[in-house]
Amino acid sequence: MPPIQPIVTHMFTADPRAHVFEGRLYVYPSHDIEAGVPENDEGDHFDMRDCHVLSMDEVGGEVTDHGVALRVEDIPWAGRQLWSNDAAYKDGTYYLYFPLKDRSDVFRIGVATSTSPAGPFTPEPEPIPGSFSIDPCVFRDRDGTHYMYFGGLWGGQLQRWRTGTYDPTVPRDPMDDGPALGPRIARLADDMKHFAEPVREITIVDEQGQPVRQQDRKRRFFEACWMHTYRGTYYLSYSTGDTHLLVYATGDNPYGPFTYRGVILTPVLGWTTHHSILEFKGKWWLFYHDSSLSGGKTHLRSVKVRELRYREDGAIEQMEGMDVAS
């Protein structure tokens, strides 16, 4: 099988969030650059400063780069690091959700709007009240309700919100073996710019119904959660971070709890991966990234896509990250 190629090669892209809007496939990636910032576990070298929108009529077809959709300098409350974004649509308006550090160097989640899925997007003057951490994923349920899933450890600062208040003294990687921190969820208000309820923590449990432990590093949540449904079941997928796996858990409602089910993608070339899953033209697709185009530089990544398959019992077939990714 030939190597899977990046969907674009004229720039570095990562963290793809894919959606079907107006019958066309749109991808909302981060835009990796060589910022000259030394690499560290806080992710300072991921110093993205704008984001683009990509689109295509079919997977494998010609990809259109619609240009810059949002810049850090256009965001009134901006500090630094415009990380993974996601998009949603409601009542004639497209919404772009993005994490960004404020001027106190604390990650918040902002929202910007456009009349086109391709942007450009105009940001709101303030971040979403009560938002924090990184990696927003906005999921539209069957009844039309929108939910935001978010959170990421280490540089994503989720561990600093363990008590509900930001505490910069909390260690990056707690060494206890208590229950793992879970991603967060909140239902969005009708205006799509606020939370309609208090933020909740999601519980991920093992096959025996016990919460996954902090030191169970091949199953615990780290970052990059995504939500989709298949045959009536809710699939929460996420990255395990320093063990470099893309895994999933299932539940019967948007809030969980979710039961760990297995690995979707084994480690790719690069530090970790970040993804989205959707159905398009009768097939299911996994969008993800690796560092093959940059020769393994962890901060210069490229978006790729491959077909995702389910078994009859609803399990996702595991894919190997390195066999065709480098």
Domain boundaries, the chain: 12-308
pLDDT above 70 (res 102): yes
pLDDT at 323: 52
Catalytic residue among 15, 32, 47, 290: 15
Catalytic residue among 32, 47, 135, 223: 223
pLDDT at 326: 39
Q: How far is CA 304 from the centre of its chain?
A: 15
pLDDT at 85: 98
pLDDT at 41: 85
How much is the pTM?
Answer: 0.97
pLDDT interval class at 1 (50, 70, 90): low
Mean pLDDT within 275-304:
97
Q: Which residues contact 249 (CB under 8 A, 6 or more apart)?
A: 204, 205, 235, 236, 237, 256, 258, 259, 260, 261
pLDDT interval class at 51 (50, 70, 90): very high
CATH code given to domain 12-308: 2.115.10.20
pLDDT at 214: 94
The reply to whether 223 belongs to the active site is yes
> What pLDDT digit, counting tens, does each position of 132-178 carry?
999 999 999 999 999 999 999 999 999 999 989 999 999 888 777 89
Of 53, 191, 40, give the one whose Cα is nearest residue 116. Answer: 53
CA atoms within 13 A on the CB side of 31: 19
User: At 291, phi and psi to the nearest 5?
Assistant: -110, 25
> What pLDDT digit, counting tens, does each position of 82-95 carry?
999 999 999 999 99
pLDDT at 174: 74
pLDDT at 153: 97
The reply to whether 15 belongs to the active site is yes
pLDDT interval class at 325 (50, 70, 90): very low
Report the share of the chain in percent with pLDDT over 70.
98
Report the share of the chain in percent with pLDDT over 90.
92
